[in-house]
Amino acid sequence: MRLGTVLAAAVLAVSASGVIVRGLGHVDPVVIAWWRCAGSAALMLPLARGFRGRDLAGMVLAGLFLALHFVAWFASLHTTSILHSTLLVTLTPVWVGLVDRFWFRTDPGRPFWIGVGVAVPGVVLMATGVGETATWWGDLLALVAGWLSGAYVLTGRVVRRGVDMGTYGAVVPLVAGLALTPVLWHRGLELGGHAPWTWSLLAACVLGPQLVGHNGINWALRYLPAPTVSSLLLLEPVGATLLGGLVFAEWPEPQEVAGA
């Protein structure tokens, strides 16, 4: 019951991410990613404990994947439709399952291959029906973000075997924020000076999708296989699209719905 509750809350939280980031369309994706990582790290830091030196390398790698994933995905949400972006980024279980099969020599099972057979034609159908708010460039960014998310999940699966949730939830986003800081300096991006509404959206991005969503998923990785956990994220596009339609009147075209 506890595991199911955490996963349900995590899926609901990450479903809101697309709409929140779209509402921050006037803020650079790197700035959004930095605040999401830094805010989450600050809130989780009191829960952090000690960790073994050999686990640090894994958490650093996970943090780098997380930083790149956020920047690519947030840029995608600024340049393509919410449906396209969330659907392509949540193809993560496909990439995780393929890596498990061909790298770790673990068969993800028949349901996985059936899912791949359904997902790939659906994505092709959706992509050929680009709507008014969708772009090829934004779709490509979302696809790359999905690959990076898969790398993040696979890394987290290994590291979480020996690291508690509080430590992992603090160190990984801290690394991601530190990795993004030189990019902010190089591009001359400002972290402050936002309007109250912008600050509220940035806070919502930290508290919902990151604190509840990502941390809930990472917690579940200790008890469930990575393909199983990541497959639950396939529910995210449904919630994200409904929210996008209600908030921004961004309803998908019939062909996009069929592909999804």
| pLDDT tens string 219-229 | 887 788 766 77
pLDDT at residue 148 above 80?
yes
Instruction: For residue 196, count other CB atoms closer than 10 A to its CB.
Output: 7
Q: Which residues are CB-contacts of 150 (< 8 A; sequence separation ≥ 6)?
A: 92, 95, 96, 99, 230
Lowest mean pLDDT among 31-40, 154-163, 205-214, 246-255: 246-255
Number of domains in the chain: 1
pLDDT at residue 250 above 90?
no
Nearest Cα residue to 170 out of 46, 50, 32, 17: 46
Nearest Cα residue to 70 out of 106, 103, 112, 27: 27
Rounded CA-CA distance 69/155 in Å is 13
Mean pLDDT of the region 200-211? 93
Kindly state the percentage of the chain with pLDDT values over 90. Answer: 41
Mean pLDDT of the region 40-56? 88
Domain that residue 205 falls in: 2-259
Task: Return the amino acid letter for 68.
Answer: L
Rounded CA-CA distance 142/206 in Å is 20
pLDDT at residue 82 above 90?
no
pLDDT at residue 240 above 70?
yes
Q: Return the HEC string of 144-186.
A: HHHHHHHHHHHHHHHHCCCCCHHHHHHHHHHHHHHHHHHHHHH
Mean pLDDT of the region 31-40? 96
Residue pointed to by tokens 């809101």: 16
pTM of the model: 0.84
Contact assessment for residue 87 and residue 203, using Cβ atoms and an 8 Å cutoff: no
Which sign, positive or negative, has the C-alpha torsion 92, 15, 243, 148? Answer: negative
Predicted pLDDT at 62 = 96
